[in-house]
Amino acid sequence: MIAIDLDGTLYNSQHQLTQRGRAALDSAIQAGLQPVIVTGRGRQGAENALHALGMDLPYICAAGALVRPGRVGEPWHAWTFQTHSEISHIIELCRAHPVTGLIAETPEGTPLWYGPDSMSGIMDPLTVKEAFVARRTFEPETDFNRPLLKVTIASDPQIMPVYERLLREKCSSLHYTYAGPQYIDLTAEGVNKGSALAALAARFHLRADEIAAIGDQAIDLSMLQFAGLPVAMSNAVPSLKAAAQWIAPSNDEDGVAWFIDKIIAQNKGPLQ
């Protein structure tokens, strides 16, 4: 199994999928490998990528809170949280920073977003597209008081240390990680890409040493720590590179295709 992150990994810096990347995924399947998309994005973002690829693959989304067999069928795993008092602290701080917004992923697949229109200026184009077709709320204390898979804080990177401090001091039951310099993803404690990949591996009866994982951000660290073959993009953050066995070319140099080609070539040789 090969677990592949989207942003900064399979997507290039223009948030596009390349022809070489698509071809490499086809080659992986023909070689007997099982590709899996593992993304911090919600269900809509994951399935948009599958549609663009013209494939229907198992995927992990919502920062590890949801595992699905593909675009159809019931979820294989879903982990929600409902911590009203802790989310209220985040909403209060969000109101104090005018360019900050919150995006919540629900089990039903219809995201909620709260924040000013100006928050679009700090988000990447794909996130803007996904957030602004979701249901907007002007009463987040009420609408976020329900089971949620994930909440994303989107703000100026310079403000993020303020949110980190709040999360450490008042949100002890939530797991948080950076999905990019302007995003912090919140899930239930113990829920992350690595725990979701472990659950998926168990479903496929695979050991960790039969799994490779590739990513670029801090959110990917848990899945690289689980995988037997951890790989970081050359555009990855330093903490991810430190955890990697291989360093792939950047996302603008089709690093995922290089990663897949290298695995296929190695598997054709003597068993390592």
Helix/strand/coil (H/E/C) assignment for every residue in the chain: CEEECHHHHHCCCCCCCCHHHHHHHHHHHHCCCCEEEECCCCHHHHHHHHHHHCCCCCEEEHHHCEEECCCCCCCCEECCECCHHHHHHHHHHHHHCCCCEEEEECCCCCCEEECCHHHHHHCCHHHHHHHHCCEECCCHHHHCCCCECEEEEECCCCCHHHHHHHHHHHCCCEEEEEEECCEEEEEECCCCHHHHHHHHHHHCCCCHHHCEEEECCHHHHHHHHHCCEEEEECCCCHHHHHHCCEEECCHHHCHHHHHHHHHHHHHHCCCC
Mean pLDDT of the chain: 94
Mean pLDDT of 149-164: 95
Residue 269: pLDDT band with limits 50, 70, 90: low
Domains of the chain and CATH, by start: 2-78+192-268 (3.40.50.1000), 84-188 (3.30.1240.10)
60-95, pLDDT tens digit by residue?
999 999 999 999 999 999 999 999 999 999 999 999
- Checking if the pLDDT of 131 tops 80, the result is no
Question: What integer pLDDT is reported at residue 268 of this predicted model?
Answer: 78
Lowest mean pLDDT among 47-51, 96-100, 210-214: 96-100
Mean pLDDT of 156-166: 94
Mean pLDDT of 228-245: 97
Question: What integer pLDDT is reported at residue 272 of this predicted model?
Answer: 45
